[in-house]
Amino acid sequence: MKNIGNMMKQAQQMQAKMQEMQAGLDSVEMSGQSGAGMVTVTVNGKGEMKKIKLEKAIVDPEEIEVLEDLIMAAFNDAKKKVEAHVAEETSKLMGGLKLPPGIKLPF
């Protein structure tokens, strides 16, 4: 019975750490780029877009579709970086604990 009590205590501590990490994701910012740096998109740790920076040379009314594609590519690049950061931080919290396939944290 003592082991179950310890496991419950560890689970509560892990849950508290996960909540802290999730709260801190608002302050994490990652930037993604496309078009050789002509388009930069910054997202927070929750994947919400915070800023877009466009070089003037990329803004051409005749090439709107290209610009749209570049913005999407930069956003996807930034989002991948955020997902990798979250996975790394979660892994640190879990201490190498292996989860069953299909279960992702944070929930």
Residue 55 or 104, more confident: 55
Q: Please give the pLDDT value at position 21.
A: 81
CA triple 85-89-93, angle to 5 deg: 165
Average pLDDT over the chain reads 85
Over pLDDT 70: what percentage of the chain?
86
C-alpha–C-alpha distance, residues 84 and 86, integer Å: 6
Q: What is the mean pLDDT of residues 56-63?
A: 92
31-97 domain in CATH 3.30.1310.10? yes
Q: Please give the pLDDT value at position 81.
A: 95
> What band does 107 get if pLDDT is binned at 50, 70 and 90?
very low
